[in-house]
Structure 1
């Protein structure tokens, strides 16, 4: 994916009124950012507290554009999650399930493209070069059903997503494992802002426990989708990473039913579910050439001024293990996060194993 210079637009494409409207939105965005609380987070990046969740400056204008301009279709599918909760995997599964009649498993797009390239994020891909009211922000030319992704909390989704009959699949992961994966991944985003002090894992963990992390507090992000899945089970499917990993076949079938494209008896007999699980498995994706080499752009320069961020594709695949956090957490860290989870997730039917 080639880098783009998005610090300016071709003004000849827009009328004077359109240019003035764009400039007005830019100025409002800049003033908003100046008014928001901020903290240094993982990856040496400033996070801003916008609409009760923490995001970097670069994502604020794209999120606003998504909220203001995206028009959902009833056939749309949205994959939602906290970062490093199984997003890459769920994107691949959703794409393979929905498009299983379009592509053969022997010549499948997932064999040559990363799932992030096939399922774009609203706030870090779709609206990067269309942050304000510009043409083609609704991706009307995408093959249907369109599949998008987001880390934005449920209350901050575009109104059309919440009001339409489009379906949302949310995946959550044990916050212990999520944090270790998040910490390791954020260190690999390049380049970081070298003017900011580097946080130790202990310092960053303290912030995580206070909710200061990408799209956090993590408990609010999780609970927003969990409660909506209970209130509207036909709208939101809530998955746990650990359960998906332990019984992928069952949940792939469940996803197909939820998305309105259930597997036929013939497909099940022919091993379609097993083949999709294998195609999208961590082991398979990690060994593909397309995921071993190259750089993937998560964010690029935008009108509110930010540095480019990118990550090598191979860093999207670390271990995908359950309980690997035991190799990184001290006893005091275990105790602290356990107390946070007990307090913040009390009163709901959601639990995670804390390994000895």
Structure 2
């Protein structure tokens, strides 16, 4: 009988020893409230309970009621997320070596970036190939793997967010829609924290945002959203300030801030995943590149694969009752859009 031996490449062995990010929904943090218990990742509370004194402060901020926005420190953010931003700025977020923050304005490929970054960083423990049916992204929505910091810290005045973030093992992977100017120094100026920013053609972003917003406000006219965006009063607006803040940061500290473009990622997803891995300190080895591991990551995170997963059809984390993965992300609209044409010319 012949002896059968197996071997593992040195690169794979090294990667398997590196810690991998853990889906934040898998972290059990129990909050006891009046004798009852609930998972902190699912915990929510009224605005007045989310941050001591924040209710009155938020209600005093300039508003855009059609889009449920408030103007905070020169930027327009979701009203319910303002307490989370305040909590983060006041120190509720405790930085840790190896933290990675994925930043973007809404509808710019955030969900895709979450999936790509998670799969890239976790590939040593969770191989992205088809032979691994138990991969976290095959059972969990990307938003269940990578939390939005503002949303998480808006619950319980930052206390719940702090517990969840403290319970997450390193490296922690998190996301934000905050302007760079809103980030605390513990993120923006921290040499041990890396930021990956993705931008998108603002015209495409705007049309995608309109389709998304109509799930919540069916009566919202595109012309109203277009006007609000031009005036800087849309979600995460002013848009150009949002982009410029991270662009300048990437030029000042390219070793800490990576600036990606959605359109370029669509044109060359494998090349951008390789660049992403290199920036995150987990470059693909020659053996991995030869084996097509970067392509495996791209396939795992493709729109076609993601949309077929039950967890994404159910949209466990989506707002508006449908999957956040495909709402207006794939199209390339630009100025040829029938929505934009009469407003641009």
Normalised by the shorter chain, which TM-score bucket?
A: 0.7 to 0.9
Which structure has the higher relative contact order (CA within 8 Å, separation 6+)? 1
SS of structure 2 residue aligned to 1:238:
strand
Match of 2:39 in 1: none
1:152 lines up with 2:165 in the alignment = no
Match of 2:42 in 1: none
Match of 1:327 in 2: 337
Larger mean CA deviation between 31-40 and 247-256 belongs to: 31-40
CA distance in 1, matches of 2:111, 2:324: 11
* Cα 1:221/1:275, change in 2 over 3 Å: same
CA distance in 2, matches of 1:74, 1:333: 47
* Cα 1:272/1:134, change in 2 over 3 Å: closer
CA distance in 2, matches of 1:77, 1:176: 28
| Aligned positions of 1:40-189 closer than 5 A | 40-41=65-66, 45-68=67-90, 69-105=92-128, 106=132, 107-124=134-151, 126-133=152-159, 136-137=162-163, 139-164=165-190, 165-189=192-216
Q: What is the root-mean-square deviation in Å for CA atoms of aligned residues?
A: 2.7
1:35 lines up with 2:35 in the alignment = no
Q: Using the TM superposition, give the Cα deviation of residue 274 of structure 1 relative to its aligned residue in structure 2, in angstroms.
A: 0.7
TM-score (norm 2): 0.80
Q: Using the TM superposition, give the Cα deviation of residue 324 of structure 1 relative to its aligned residue in structure 2, in angstroms.
A: 2.4
Q: Using the TM superposition, give the Cα deviation of residue 174 of structure 1 relative to its aligned residue in structure 2, in angstroms.
A: 0.3
CA distance in 1, matches of 2:215, 2:50: 35
| Aligned positions of 1:150-299 closer than 5 A | 150-164=176-190, 165-189=192-216, 198-296=219-317
CA distance in 2, matches of 1:286, 1:183: 21
Tell me if structure 1 keeps the 8 A contact 2:153–2:162: no
Q: Using the TM superposition, give the Cα deviation of residue 158 of structure 1 relative to its aligned residue in structure 2, in angstroms.
A: 2.3
SS of structure 2 residue aligned to 1:296:
coil
Match of 2:321 in 1: 312
TM-score (norm 1): 0.77
* Cα 1:312/1:24, change in 2 over 3 Å: closer
Q: Using the TM superposition, give the Cα deviation of residue 186 of structure 1 relative to its aligned residue in structure 2, in angstroms.
A: 1.4
Tell me if structure 2 keeps the 8 A contact 1:127–1:137: no
* Cα 1:187/1:319, change in 2 over 3 Å: closer
SS of structure 2 residue aligned to 1:329:
coil
* Cα 1:132/1:319, change in 2 over 3 Å: closer
CA distance in 2, matches of 1:58, 1:312: 18
SS of structure 2 residue aligned to 1:54:
strand
Count of equivalent residues: 299
Q: Using the TM superposition, give the Cα deviation of residue 294 of structure 1 relative to its aligned residue in structure 2, in angstroms.
A: 4.1
**Structure 1, unaligned stretches of length 5 or more?**
3-7, 14-21, 298-309, 336-356
**Structure 2, unaligned stretches of length 5 or more?**
1-23, 26-30, 37-47
CA distance in 2, matches of 1:148, 1:11: 30
Q: Using the TM superposition, give the Cα deviation of residue 246 of structure 1 relative to its aligned residue in structure 2, in angstroms.
A: 0.3
CA distance in 1, matches of 2:315, 2:161: 30
SS of structure 1 residue aligned to 2:68:
strand
